[in-house]
């Protein structure tokens, strides 16, 4: 017969080293989380840009440069110095930015630009109550239902990668596509958002015509403004349309940038792409980098993508018809299943970065390049 003492489960022994390691990671996360709004403030007020010349400044001098409050800037500078986003010179009691910090924080049109992520993060924090509720109910939350900072933040987060890789390596990796674009092709960019990828391609291939589609009307309005400002509105047209019914035929290239996994019915979208492509046309799919094995994705990059998936991508998919819920870490094998179900025979991985995988999809089967894996 069990005694009263033995009827209660024993408290597991605590390993002090493991506990301290957990607390150490938590302290790092706390500091990063609390600094996040300061990065946003620094971007909005031009504080990083004002320090981009590398000159050593006192808080008062930075305040004069930016027409802001010296007392607040003293705390802002110290927080950024503790996070190594700016540097502190103890000998002169001044602050400055290194060329590397300037590249990452104070320059907009570069392959590295960190502030955009913080707009995205701020939007998700504002949406926390909505997200908590859908976790209770299992309902979805559409892209359009998020706080507006998500739209700007997403563009600014992904645009540096496109600047670094799209024209220089991703398009050249596609069989015969770059030649078509240089000669004059028809291109559809699906889920184009504010048009960063569309405009970059249009500026790089002036002989081609580009059509950007997104179901979110407000994003399309912003994309049109940017096309006009870039002077390419005569060759770039933006229109609000879903991925399963965007207009037009005989596209030489259809591109999906970081959006297939957000769709409720990606198989339906794949079928429509097949109908819209020209003979020998190419579908380029850019997706977040992921392995098929969950354990292999439990990395710092995987942490970012799983968190984004849990707050944006899966809720977006579940808000739509079918609600497949691929998620941002679906992996190549799962993407291949969608592509095959949509009627395509060829599926090749043609490029990868630490943040993205690039797939070439065609209706007719064929050999993939030897240098990449045929999933």
CATH of the domain at 260: 3.40.50.150
Predicted confidence (pLDDT) per residue in 203-224, tens digit: 999 999 999 999 999 999 999 9
Angle at 351 between CA 347 and CA 353, to 5 degrees: 130
Residues 62-86 pLDDT 10s? 999 999 999 999 999 999 999 999 9
Residues 258-293, buried b or exposed e (16+ Cβ, 10 A)? bbbbbbbbbbbbbbbbbebbeeebbbbbbbbbbbee
**What residue has token string 């991508």?**
313
In whole angstroms, give the CA distance from residue 189 to residue 360.
Answer: 15
pLDDT at 354 over 50: yes
**DSSP letters of 71-103?**
HHHHHHHHHHHHTTSSEEETTTTEEE--HHHHH
Statement to judge: residues 218 and 316 lie in one domain: yes
Rounded to an integer, what distance in angstroms lies between the CA atom of residue 156 and that of residue 163? 11
Query: Which of the listed residues 107, 135, 164 is the one where a domain comes to its end?
Result: 107
Say whether pLDDT at 305 is over 80.
yes
Parent domain of 317: 119-362
Least confident of 59-73, 98-112, 118-132: 98-112
- What SS3 state is found at 160? helix
Whether the per-residue pLDDT at 344 is higher than 60: the answer is yes
At 242, is the secondary structure helix, strand, or coil? coil
Same-domain status, 229 and 142? yes
Q: Say if residue 8's pLDDT is above 90.
A: no
Q: What is the count of structural domains for the chain?
A: 2
Residues pairing with 190 in the sheet: 213, 256
pLDDT, tens digit (0-9, with 9 covering 90-100), for 223-279:
999 999 999 999 999 999 999 999 999 999 999 999 999 999 999 999 999 999 999
Q: Are residues 38 and 84 in the same domain?
A: yes
Task: Name the nearest CA neighbour of 212 among 163, 142, 155, 287.
Answer: 155
Segment (H or E) for 346? strand 346-352
Contact call for residues 181 and 253 (beta carbons, < 8 A) = yes
* 89 & 145 share domain: no
The tokens of 312 are what? Answer: 């944006």
Runs of H (alpha helix) within the chain:
16-44, 47-50, 59-66, 70-82, 99-105, 115-126, 128-137, 149-165, 171-173, 177-183, 196-204, 217-230, 266-276, 300-308, 314-318, 332-341
Mean pLDDT for 93-107 is: 96
Asked which of 80, 107, 134 is the last residue of a domain, the reply is: 107
Place of tokens 């790092």: 28
pLDDT band at residue 111 under the 50/70/90 scheme: confident
What pTM does this model have? Answer: 0.92
Measured distance between the N- and C-terminal CA atoms of the chain, rounded to whole angstroms? 59
Residue keyed to tokens 């999933």: 375
Q: In degrees to the nearest 10, what's the CA dihedral of 211, 250, 375, 313?
A: 30
- Residue-level pLDDT at 1: 44
Cα separation, 156 vs 167, whole angstroms: 18
In a domain, 17, yes or no: no
Judge if 98 and 124 occupy the same domain.
no
Q: Which two tokens stand for residue 343?
A: 């009627």
Cα–Cα distance, 280 to 231 (Å, whole number): 31
Distance between CA atoms of residues 324 and 307, nearest Å: 18
The reply to whether 102 and 221 lie within a common domain is no
pLDDT at 373 > cutoff 70: no
Whether residues 103 and 204 share a domain: the answer is no
Residue 271 · residue 342 · CB < 8 Å = yes
If asked whether residues 83 and 200 sit together in one domain, one would say no
CATH code of the domain containing 51? 1.10.10.10
Together in a domain, 211 and 246: yes
Last residue of a domain, one of 73, 107, 141: 107
Phi and psi based region of residue 85 (left: phi greater than 0; alpha: psi -120 to 50; beta: remaining): alpha
Output the pLDDT for position 110.
81
């Amino acid at each position: 017969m069990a005694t009263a003492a033995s009827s209660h489960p024993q408290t597991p022994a605590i390993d002090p080293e493991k506990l301290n390691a957990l607390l150490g990671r938590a302290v790092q996360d706390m500091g990063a989380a609390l600094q996040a709004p300061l990065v946003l403030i620094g971007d909005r007020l031009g504080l990083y840009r004002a320090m981009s010349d590398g000159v050593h400044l006192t808080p008062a001098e930075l305040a004069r440069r930016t027409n802001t409050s010296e007392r607040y800037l003293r705390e802002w500078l110290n927080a950024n110095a503790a996070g190594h986003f700016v540097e502190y010179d103890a000998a002169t009691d001044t602050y400055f930015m290194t060329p590397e910090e300037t590249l990452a924080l104070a320059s907009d049109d570069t392959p590295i630009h960190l502030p955009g992520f913080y707009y995205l993060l701020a939007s998700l924090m504002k949406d926390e109550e909505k997200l908590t509720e859908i976790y209770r109910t299992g309902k979805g939350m559409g892209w359009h239902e998020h706080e507006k900072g998500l739209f700007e933040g997403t563009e600014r987060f992904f645009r540096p990668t496109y600047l670094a890789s799209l024209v220089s390596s991703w398009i050249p990796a596609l069989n015969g596509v770059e030649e078509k674009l240089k000669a004059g092709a028809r291109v559809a960019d699906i889920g184009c958002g504010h048009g960063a990828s569309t405009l970059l391609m249009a500026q790089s291939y002036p002989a081609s015509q580009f059509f950007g589609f997104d179901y979110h009307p407000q994003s399309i309005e912003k994309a049109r403004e940017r096309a006009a400002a870039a002077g390419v509105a005569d060759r770039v047209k933006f229109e609000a349309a879903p991925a399963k019914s965007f207009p037009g035929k005989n596209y030489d290239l259809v591109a999906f940038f970081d959006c297939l996994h957000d769709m409720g019915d990606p198989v339906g979208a794949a079928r429509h792409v097949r109908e819209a492509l020209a003979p020998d046309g190419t579908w380029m799919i850019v997706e977040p980098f992921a392995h098929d094995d969950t354990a292999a994705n439990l990395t710092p990059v995987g942490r970012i993508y799983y968190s984004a998936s849990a707050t944006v991508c899966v809720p977006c998919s579940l808000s739509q018809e079918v609600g497949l819920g691929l998620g941002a870490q679906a992996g190549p094998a799962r993407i291949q299943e969608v592509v095959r179900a949509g009627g395509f025979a060829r599926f090749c991985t043609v490029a990868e970065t630490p943040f993205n995988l690039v797939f070439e999809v065609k209706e007719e089967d064929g050999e993939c390049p030897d240098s990449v894996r045929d999933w």
